Amino acid sequence: MPGEQIKDRIVEFTRVSASDLIPNPKNWRTHPEHQRDGLKSILGEIGFADAVIARRLEDNSLMLIDGHLRAETAEDAMIPTLVVDVSEEEADLMLATLDPLASLAGTDVGNLTELMRGLSSENDQISVLLEDIRDNYSIDFHELMEQETDADFIAGNDGIGDEMNPNITGMKAVVLHLKEDEYEAFYEKAFELGDKWDMDNLSDVVIEAINRAHKE
């Protein structure tokens, strides 16, 4: 699109009571309870910091294109609203593509990790939301990989390989953090695979499992 002029379809910015915004009957997004709780907590702590998007119908009412959960959560509050001059077909295209386009964005886990380190909240729902984000983007694992540890590398001339296990020379260590129920299941399945593949070393079993899964 270089050289082409991009249309500005925003014709109005207003504040509208949530109850006056008409839900789009073609809205395809669903919102689980934990998402609703998280948004309610964010709105309670920060307030509105962006606008929903709607278009005017022939009777001058406003139908939502984006921001359904905010409108549902806000109940009768006055919601910042961008009114766009689009046809029903164009509104359908926006409705179908706005969220999927956002989900196509990549993630710089390093930057996200730094951002998350400075975030905390006394609100339980926000704390749960932040923890979900950490889990979804494996932030704890990323932080672990950045930590300096004596287990990161064992040199071959430190006596460990000679006295404790002659096979431990020039190796790196990987630390797994498992919940108690996951711990038992992990070892049970690992031993089963070890017997199946005739392996008596946990590292060999894990590497073999990863290699086989990668080939599938």
Domains of the chain: 10-103 (3.90.1530.10), 108-147 (no CATH)
pTM: 0.62
Residue 112 token pair:
């996200």
pLDDT class of 191 with cuts at 50, 70, 90: confident
Residue 149 CA to residue 185 CA, distance in Å, equals 27
Residue 52 CA to residue 159 CA, distance in Å, equals 65
Nearest of 28, 99, 94, 29 to residue 55 by alpha carbon: 94
Interval 1-13: pLDDT, tens: 566 899 999 999 9
Residue for token pair 């599938």:
216
* Predicted local confidence at residue 97, as pLDDT: 96
* Predicted local confidence at residue 170, as pLDDT: 60
Q: Are 170 and 154 in contact (CB under 8 A)?
A: yes
- 144 Cα distance to chain centroid: 19
Interval 80-127: pLDDT, tens: 999 999 999 999 999 999 999 988 888 887 888 888 888 878 888 888
Interval 115-171: pLDDT, tens: 888 887 888 888 888 888 877 776 665 554 455 544 444 444 443 334 444 444 566
Residue 137 CA to residue 121 CA, distance in Å, equals 19
Interval 71-80: pLDDT, tens: 999 988 999 9
Residue 161 CA to residue 142 CA, distance in Å, equals 29
